[in-house]
Structure 1
Amino acid sequence: MVMVPFGEFSLAAASSHGVKGQGFLYRAAFARNGPTWNVAFSYQRASRDYREIGVERESERIVEQIQAAGGITFGRMGTAGLSYTSLTYADGQRAQVLSGNYSLSVRDRAFVSVYAIHSRFSETGRDTSLGFNLTVPFGPRSSAYLQAGTDGTRAEVRGTPPVSGGWGYRLANSTGNNGRQQAEAQWRGDVGEMTAQVDHAGGQTGMRVTGRGGLLIADGALFPTRQMESGFAVVRVPDQADVRVYQENRLVGRTNARGTAIIPDLRPYEVNRLSISAADIPIDVRMPEDQLLVVPRYRGAVNARFVAIQEHPGTIIVVMPDGKPVEAGSGVSSGAEKSFVGNEGEVFLQNLHAGMVLTVDAAGGPCHVRLDALPDQVLPTIGPLPCVR
């Protein structure tokens, strides 16, 4: 329930019934989000007999939970946040965590944050950790990361593979209780993904290579593809190979020799915009549309078929029987196609074919031009051909 201008209030309750009797749980929460600050608070309580599926041990069953958080933004000077969590378990153990952080963007070239975490556990006592994080992006898919704190340091450089396919990498080094060194290479292709990793920790070195992919059956055809995690589309541009395919203006693939591309990672139950690069379509192929909107279901396929119409555009030079060019501006028609005469008797038509007859509305009356043969070339210039009455 939203109460303007105070914020959002919510109440929830649940009940369970089992061999140990009937139990109850209730939860109350409040949240307020403003332009420069936000706060949130929630309290949850469960009776001793309340049970959740999969939680059997008393040391895992939470009977009381308190959470509070707040944040404030200082514009270009960054943001700050504070949070507190308290958990009480059915066996009497209690865990409390208080944390604070401050983050700052340095001219969009680096991101810095400092943090402090204080925890108290019934079994292990108190612990406090301080540290900072530094992230520096470079290039469209690469970044460097450094974390230093009282419990050790971690440095990492990574480059993610392009969505459309390619290579990626990750190099990492950490010190402290969990000191280790890692090197990783990633390959992403149209038919799957592979990762090779070397890991050194505790005086031992290990290596592993993993791969994953999938097989898709759609429209009676079998397609090898990447592993399907959400929705995907079967994009078809008939007989047009190596056409770039975009999802929300991001290059995500290219069509194969048959004009087909499998596009994974679409948002299920949402509108996804798929488009193709008009620059990859031959000039003698007409595309009524270069983008489609699709809505896949979860792990479901949608058919995204682009209409590709093969045409034979070209120019015909039309002259009168005396050899002079037909007057510029004269109308030209052949069935449903219409055009006009340009300079030097040139007429451009979108779709030429052998045997077509043009009717020219010349100054002295209509005359006709017959195209007996069509040369095997793109955008041919044919003629001069006489226009006879």
Structure 2
Amino acid sequence: MTTGKHAPSHWTSLAVSAITAYSVVCQAASGPFGLTAPQVQTHAIDPTGAASPNDPGMEELFLDVTLNRVDTHTLGHFFLAHGELYAEASTLHDLGLSWPTETQTTGLVPLTDLPGLQAHYDEANQRLSLLAPTQLLAGPPARLGYTPPPPPRIDPASRVPGLLLNYDIYGQDGAGSRSISGWNELRLFGLGPGIWRTSSVVSATYGGSTSDEHHFVRLDTSWELDFPTSMVSIVVGDTTNAALDWTRTTRFGGIRVSRNFELQPYRVTVPLASFAGEATLPSTVDMFINGIRQSQQTVSPGRFQIDSAPVLNGAGQAQVVITDITGQSRVVNFSLYNSSQLLQAGLSDWSFEAGKVRLDYGLRSFSYASDAMGTGTYRYGVSDFLTIESHAEVTRDLTMGGGGIQLRMGPAGGVLNASYAMSRHGENDGRQEAVGYEWQGRLFNFRLSTLRSDEAFSDVASLEGSVLPRRVDQAFAGFNLGRGQLGASYLRQDFPGNIHERYASVSWSQSTSRIGNFSFSLTHDLDGGTGSTVFLYWSLPLGYRRQLWSGVQHQGSGNTVTVGATQSIPGDQDGWGWRVQAGAGDQPTDQAEVSQLTRFGEWRAGVLQWHNNGQSGSTGYLDVSGGLLLMSGSLFPMRRVDDSFALVSTDGIGGVPVMLENRLVGDTNEKGQLLVTPLNAWQNNDITIDPLVLPAEVSVDRVHLAVVPPTASGVLARFPMRATTPVVLALRGPDGQWIPPGSSALLESKGATPLEVVVGYDGKVFLQDPPAGARLVVPLASGQCSITLPDPLPGQGWTDLGELPCR
């Protein structure tokens, strides 16, 4: 360590040069440290052993301390003897210093005992400047960067009860028979906690070779309750259990309690992109991922860790630029890898279910297994590299359980997954093993996996008739070439009864701005069952929502060529769409269709003609989908809503444009209402109105709302409006001249605080809702003048009182 007092010296220039050349590094720094200090004389003092404040010649000092050019805002308690600076260990700790031999230190600590520390004592200003290497800077690394955003909050005033009916009706007439089928979903929300919903299908067939048939089947009925703060959902009724890559989903009726990350959609659950480093001087750290800056943070001297929300799934390249306060920069490059299969360290995901397995789904309304079952799934992020998994199932005469891992192989080495499960069904013990690996990059990605189970292995689904494959092998490789994307895959599945399926496929796609988009696929049955299927497709955009396309298909039943043109319906606005196509070959199909999207729903109608092995036929069809909503005392026909929605209210004022995420979605009706769909549940959906179309006498308190709806529910988005009486007048002073622009005036009325207004050009004064009979007082250089407003004010709405003399 070096210490010094003020005195002119050529060492000052050397110290200044050393500091200017110093740069922050991301590893422990070593070597001498300098500090710019004008007229500092530096000389070394040998330690004299343990010292005490009571030693002869010990001078007590209280100094303003800076550490690595950062003001500590602390008066440090130091001692000076024979040119040597001393301090108590507690003083050094309070300044943020730590040293290897501090546990053996007794009495006062000579600053020379701290290796690498430089101290410069400014006696005239009673200031001490310390430069310490990062090894001496105490404390854990400072974590900066990404902070989980607070979950969106639902405005209690926006929650209103409602009843929604979604429907989709399809009818066709052809080949001597007629049929009609429909799907519907009924939701009840806002009436008590949670949401209740049920769905069903109905169908009817007339004519043909069989007698008329009518069917009604209930699909699902459930009640769901969400707890967004804890990210927990409870479902009672028909639902499915959670599943992992090596387990199967089962549809059942009962109860499910699970973690639900969708309740906090802005929260990042995968590991963050992180960089750990050290800084000796205050610095700015910029993090770039694949060339795009993700964060910029200011760091203090010491160790730090910068976290950034991940912006990739797979391999990427990160670059960190560290710039200290002297302007010196250092660039650090490193590779990183992220995967949606991994959880952040310390984060868990789980689901537990109990009930009875659903049978004959879509065929029978109330068909459940006779025995109850229970399942559980749990995932936990042990670290940012390792996520463990477990799963268990139990029912009568069956228990099954297993565990697995998702392991990131180094900073950019891909993800390895492996699992092992065992089951006991009666007296039979079975087992299942699985292993896989995947790597994704910008130019290349591949995935390999295999799952094997013996004949005795069973799960809950297999007991109810779902066939469990005994072997599944998968391989995929993809290449992002300069001229398109190329992919190849292989699939093998073995089932009980010595049934084998093996398929290999190759695909290629290319998009161009001049000649359109191309895609090609080849799928071959390696066991010779269905042979090969080849498909070639081309499309060319023809402007807004229109495109021309053509396809060629070869399969075992023959070759077919199809050409067509389409215009898609708009996504938000009302509009028309159409489709025409013509085919030739062994199984051609001709089609003409027209469709329309309105605020009341969507419909499409068309004619289809087919040819197959010398036979042909035609079918006409009509499909209508939409919804009916009972909410806020009114019945609304609307579009089909698969997620959430909002009823916008402008307090009875119609014709107001409404925008969702800056996209115009419609105007309010004559009642000042508009249904806006779809909205994302538990997210901030920005809804705005255009106030420029409002009458001048209408005042609006807000033009923007961040609407947060619950799951599959509707909310009220109200823009409060009120009628006002704008009054404008022109004031002439006692001299007959206009009151000067910029003059102040006071609007006085009984029982109210005087309101200050400003006079514009030509004596114009604008008043918003002034009380009838109020007095307007204008201070003048010669005193003041005033006028009294009429009582009552003439008319309603915008009122122009014309020129008024101020006396």
2:568 to 156, 160, 168: 160
Residue 159 and residue 6 in structure 1: after superposition, are their counterparts in 2 closer, same or farther (change >3 A)? same
Match of 2:532 in 1: 128
Tell me, yes or no, if the aligned pair for 1:196 and 1:210 is still in contact at 8 Å.
Answer: yes
AA partner of residue 42 (structure 1):
S
Residue number among 227, 235, 248 corresponding to 2:648 in the alignment = 235
Range with bigger deviation, 257-266 or 186-195: 186-195
Among residues 277, 290, 303, which one is paired with 2:690 in the alignment?
277
Residue in structure 2 matched with residue 195 of structure 1 by the alignment? 604
Aligned equivalents of 2:629, 2:421: Cα separation in 1 = 41
How far did residue 8 of structure 1 move?
Answer: 2.0
Query: Partners of 2:754 and 2:443 in 1: how far apart?
Result: 63
* 1:224-303 matches, cutoff 5 A: 224-303=637-716
Q: What's the CA shift for 1:83?
A: 1.8
Query: Could you report, residue by residue, the CA deviation over 1:11-39 in whole angstroms, capped at 9, with x for unpaired residues?
Result: 34566665795654443332222222222
AA aligned to 2:780 is A
Structure 2 CA distance for partners of 1:148 and 1:317, relative to 1, 3 Å: same
Equivalent residue in structure 2 for 1:182, among 574, 591, 596: 591
Say if 2:477 is the partner of 1:70: yes
CA pair 302-130 structure 1, distance change in 2 beyond 3 A: same
Task: Tell me which protein shows more strand as a share of its residues.
Answer: 1
Any conservation in 1 of the 2:724–2:797 contact (CA below 8 Å)? no
Q: 1:238 to 1:131 in 2, by over 3 A?
A: same
The CA distance in 1 between the partners of 2:432 and 2:632, in whole Å, is: 49
SS in 2 for 1:213: strand
1:387 corresponds to which residue?
A: 806
Secondary structure of 2:461's counterpart equals coil
**Secondary structure in 1 matching 2:450:** strand
Structure 2 CA distance for partners of 1:313 and 1:337, relative to 1, 3 Å: farther
Q: Work out the CA distance in 2 between the residues paired with 1:15 and 1:220.
A: 57
**Quick one: distance in 2 between partners of 1:294 and 1:188?**
24
Classify 1:240/1:108 alpha carbon distance in 2 versus 1 (closer, same or farther; 3 Å).
farther
Q: TM-score, normalised by structure 1?
A: 0.87
User: Is the CA contact (8 Å cut-off) linking 2:601 and 2:627 kept in structure 1?
Assistant: yes
Q: Is the 8 A contact 2:757 2:765 kept in 1?
A: yes
Q: CA deviation at 1:367?
A: 2.8
* Distance 1:244-1:96 versus aligned 2 partners, 3 A rule: farther
- 1:245 and 1:291 mapped to 2: Cα distance? 10
2:778 to 354, 360, 373: 360
Q: Does 1:371 align with 2:789?
A: yes
- Where relative contact order (Cα < 8 A, 6+ residues apart) is larger, the structure is 2
The residue number in structure 1 matching 2:636 is 223
Distance in 2 (alpha carbons) for counterparts of 1:108 and 1:18: 62
- Measured at CA, do residues 18 and 186 of structure 1 come closer, stay the same or move farther in structure 2, by a change above 3 Å? farther
Q: CA deviation at 1:259?
A: 0.9
Please identify the structure whose Cα radius of gyration is greater: 2
C-alpha distance after superposition, 1:44-78 (max 9, x if no partner): 223323246278668x5422111222222235x33
Q: Which of 40, 43, 55 is the matching residue for 2:450? A: 43
Contact residue 317 and residue 381 of structure 1 kept, 8 A: no
Which of 417, 425, 438 is the aligned partner of 1:31? 438
Maintained 8 Å contact 1:182/1:198: yes
Once the two structures are superposed, what CA deviation does each residue of 1:254-312 show, in whole Å capped at 9, x if it has no partner? 21111111122222333322222334333443334322222323321122112324334
Aligned length: 384
Percent sequence identity over aligned pairs: 27
Flag structure 1 segments of 5+ consecutive residues without an equivalent: none
Alpha-carbon deviation of 1:337?
Answer: 4.9
Selected match of 1:113 from 519, 525, 528: 519
Q: Quick check: 2:734–2:785 contact (8 Å CA) kept in 1?
A: no
- The equivalences for 1:9-24 within 5 A come to 9-12=416-419, 21=428, 23-24=430-431
AA at the equivalent of 1:37: F
